[in-house]
Structure 1
């Protein structure tokens, strides 16, 4: 099981803080092609947790719906 977490950082008051997290097991990941998209809104950290039974790569995409600073972390067993 893998967890991808996007944590936003409110260090700049000019940022409205709305980055959006997307994950997929395909390099064709996009804003319309994804396996996980939390839709939590501005000022929220977003997390996708999934089991990866396949061998290969997993992908994460962050789309800045509005300006934001963020950190991506991936944890695995």
Structure 2
């Protein structure tokens, strides 16, 4: 079976995982936002600016697909 965000769920024995999944579905965006904030705080704006498109894509994907299954 699959859960939201196109995330297939399987147990170690390869059977379908049918219970809720407790991990975060968007850890990369959280990490990049924290890192980008740190870069801005340390006057590295040009490097921080290069990360925003990736953050935006991740968050747009979550916003569009968070409730989908399959």
TM over 0.5: no
TM-score bracket relative to the smaller structure: under 0.3
Give the TM-score taking structure 2 as reference length.
Answer: 0.25
Q: TM-score, normalised to structure 1's length?
A: 0.24
Determine which structure has the larger helix proportion and give its number.
2
- Between Structure 1 and Structure 2, whose CA radius of gyration is higher? 2
